[in-house]
């Protein structure tokens, strides 16, 4: 009996030691995750501070921006502005390169409504970029691959740091409304689209299919470099789902 008790105690001690080691590892991951969040936020704050000096430029003044501003100043009617923006979008679709969703969104250049409103552009673009990237990585790492949330945070913050701080042109990616809508926003919506496709494949809820179709429509109406990855990714997802019987 004494030998059996010693064996059981030793077994319990090994289990306790293993759990303690895992708990310690999780604790370390959480500390690193918090540190990464702090570092990331410290790099974002300066970007938002200098946003007050951002103003419209280049194509922000094109595509009948003057007409839309005149319509807004004369009527202050959102409906009249939407009608004018839709008409401008149809004209650009026919005489330019065939884009329509991003062209329509580009109609809402902030300075049209208020000359001091352009500072909001990097806030919106960073929100889209971090939101689309974060929700996609969360579903991939936490829901599908079963990573710990702390590990997901570490990976995501590291990606944010690299992607944002080393983007070839911070101005065009986050501060210039016309260019950011065409690329940064469309790229972010692309990640939302892939996220909704994955949720539909794994969970089967039609609401996710509807959201995937809506976001795919938006990306499809934008620039070719934006919607090509969507088509490839969605095709891969559905093929993979078919192979695994989902």
**For residue 13, with 0-12 CB atoms within 10 Å meaning exposed, 13-18 middle and 19 or more buried, which class applies?**
exposed
**What pLDDT is stored for residue 243 in this prediction?**
44
Show Cβ contacts of residue 130 under 8 Å, excluding neighbours closer than 6 positions. Answer: 160
Look up the pTM and report it: 0.78
Question: 180 vs 60, which has greater pLDDT?
Answer: 180
Residues 6 or more apart whose Cβ sits within 8 Å of residue 138 = 152, 156
Express each pLDDT in 6-18 by its tens digit: 555 545 545 444 5
Poorest-pLDDT segment among 13-17, 70-74, 84-88: 13-17
DSSP string, 146-187: ---HHHHHHHHHHHHHHHHHT-S-HIIIII-HHHHIIIIIHH
Q: What is the pLDDT of residue 232?
A: 56
Report the interhelical angle of 186-203 vs 206-220 (nearest 10°). Answer: 160
Q: For the chain, what's the residue count? A: 246
The two three-digit tokens of residue 187, written as one number: 């790229």
Is the pLDDT reported for residue 125 higher than 80? yes
Q: What pLDDT shows up at residue 241?
A: 52
């Amino acid at each position: 009996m004494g030998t059996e008790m010693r064996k059981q105690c030793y077994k319990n001690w090994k289990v306790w030691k293993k759990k303690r080691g895992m708990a310690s590892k999780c604790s370390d991951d959480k500390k690193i995750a918090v540190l990464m969040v702090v570092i990331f936020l410290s790099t974002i704050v300066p970007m938002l501070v200098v946003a007050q000096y951002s103003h419209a430029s280049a194509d922000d003044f094109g595509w009948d921006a003057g007409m839309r501003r005149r319509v807004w100043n004369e009527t202050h009617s959102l409906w009249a502005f939407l009608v004018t923006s839709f008409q401008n979008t149809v004209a650009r679709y026919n005489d330019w390169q065939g884009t329509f969703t991003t062209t329509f969104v580009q109609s809402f250049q902030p300075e049209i409504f208020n000359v001091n409103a352009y500072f909001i552009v990097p806030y919106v673009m960073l929100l889209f970029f971090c939101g689309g990237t974060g929700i996609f990585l969360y579903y991939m790492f936490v829901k599908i691959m079963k990573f710990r949330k702390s590990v997901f945070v570490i990976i995501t913050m590291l990606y944010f740091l690299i992607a944002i701080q080393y983007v070839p042109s911070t101005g065009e990616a986050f501060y210039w409304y016309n260019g950011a809508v065409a690329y940064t926003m469309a790229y972010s919506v692309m990640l939302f689209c892939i996220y909704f496709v994955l949720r539909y494949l794994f969970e089967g809820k039609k609401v996710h299919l509807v959201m995937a179709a809506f976001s795919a429509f938006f990306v499809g109406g934008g620039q070719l470099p934006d919607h090509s990855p969507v088509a490839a990714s969605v095709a891969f997802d559905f093929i993979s789902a078919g192979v695994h019987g989902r």
